[in-house]
Amino acid sequence: MNEIYECLIIGAGIAGLQAAIQLGRYKRNVLVIDSGEGRSSLCRSYRNILGWPDGISGEELRALGKTQAEKTGVHFLSGRVVGLKKGENAFEAETASGAVYYAKRILLSTGLSDRMPELPGLKACLGLSVYVCPDCDGYEVRDKKTIVLGAGAAGANMALTLSYWTDSIVYVNHEQQSIPEDLILKLTHKGIMTVDKKADEVLTENESVFKGIRFADGTLLEGERGFLAFGGNTVHTGLAAMLGAERLENKHVLTNPRTKETSVKYVWAAGDAGVHSEQVTIAMGEGCQAAVWIHKSLMDGE
């Protein structure tokens, strides 16, 4: 058998990196395997993190975290884990290239992917003038003309949520899904106009400043901020399922609130793959929390 790592972290998003830093500081032999994708890699600016009042991009935060973890001796590998099982002496993780890696403990920080349309101009605005999380960025649309681009009830609920920060909201039901009657009444009560039309392009200024939407029929809708709400996000917990970890119907992994360990012994989950509010600061906390208990479990076995 090849080298057995003390912990294998799958996913180098915010939760995985924070866990790697903590485990590295425990002098643990850690391997992080990451596909180079993930939700945080798309965000151009996080503005609700302690110490970054002017914001920091997900890409920069991940780069800083990787460098910090590497300084403690943590190993990184670019790749995608496609198979995970419990062997006789260790967990076995197989990558898409066919390589197999072994570890005594597993941390799943595989996150989720937001469902969003492929529209010209959209990705350059993410985190700067177009957002997906009202708890993270509702503050950024205060008193601004905001266009919610979404689908059916998901978009309607987002528009209603954002009415806390601004009374100038238009909901574009991009996929023209049906909206429940009770939500229609609430939108009307709040003065939120609904447009059942398909967007064709996000209008921008200086590439990343949201200015509105061009529809497929050529008409324009101007705005100052954008929000996405399509529902049906993809939760990447297939590896947890391979090990038999308990999941909810929405595919999020259940964990012990104190330790972040899953229902499978010696397997932890942190970040958006788990059950919680999807926030980068919470992901950091969960990554550190999981690492502490992974270290404790290794200490108990030594």
In terms of residue numbers, what domain contains 188?
A: 122-229
Share of the chain above pLDDT 70, in %: 99
SS3 state of residue 31: strand
Chosen domain end from 229, 250, 281: 229
Contacts of 10 (CB under 8 A, 6+ apart): 16, 32, 33, 34, 81, 84, 93, 106, 107, 108, 109, 110, 239
pLDDT band at 1 (very low <50, low <70, confident <90, very high): low
Residue 139 has what pLDDT?
96
**Total structural domains within the chain:** 2
Same domain, 24 and 158: no
What does the block give as tokens for 122?
């959209």
SS3 state of residue 30: strand
- When pLDDT is averaged across residues 26-40 and rounded to a whole number, the result is 93
Residues in the chain: 302
Same domain, 133 and 216: yes
Residue 43 scores a pLDDT above 90: no
Residue 169 is which amino acid? I
Sheet (strand 225-229) strand order: 130-131, 225-229, 146-150, 169-173, 193-195
What does the block give as tokens for 199?
């967007």
Residue 248 scores a pLDDT above 80: yes
Per residue in 257-290, pLDDT (tens digit) is: 999 999 999 999 999 999 877 899 999 999 999 9
Quote the mean pLDDT of the chain: 95
Same domain, 191 and 252: no
Sheet (strand 220-222) strand order: 199-205, 209-215, 220-222
Same domain, 98 and 184: no
pLDDT band at 104 (very low <50, low <70, confident <90, very high): very high
Same domain, 135 and 210: yes
Phi, psi (degrees; rounded to nearest 5) at 57: -75, 155
Chosen domain end from 229, 264, 285: 229
Same domain, 239 and 98: yes
Same domain, 77 and 149: no
- When pLDDT is averaged across residues 23-38 and rounded to a whole number, the result is 95
- Distance from C-alpha of 81 to C-alpha of 31, rounded to nearest angstrom: 12
Per residue in 139-180, pLDDT (tens digit) is: 999 999 999 999 999 999 999 999 999 999 999 999 999 999
Phi, psi (degrees; rounded to nearest 5) at 260: 70, 15
- Distance from C-alpha of 179 to C-alpha of 185, rounded to nearest angstrom: 10
Same domain, 142 and 189: yes
pLDDT band at 42 (very low <50, low <70, confident <90, very high): confident
CATH of the domain at 151: 3.50.50.60
Residue 188 scores a pLDDT above 90: yes
Per residue in 200-244, pLDDT (tens digit) is: 999 999 999 999 999 999 999 999 999 999 999 999 999 999 999
Same domain, 200 and 212: yes
- Distance from C-alpha of 6 to C-alpha of 14, rounded to nearest angstrom: 20
Same domain, 152 and 295: no
Same domain, 193 and 249: no
Chosen domain end from 202, 229, 256: 229
Which of these, 112, 93, 110, lies nearest to 102 by C-alpha position? Answer: 93
Alpha helices in 71-204 (DSSP H): 134-137, 152-162, 181-190
Same domain, 97 and 39: yes
Strands 4-10 and 100-108, sheet pairing: parallel
pLDDT band at 302 (very low <50, low <70, confident <90, very high): low
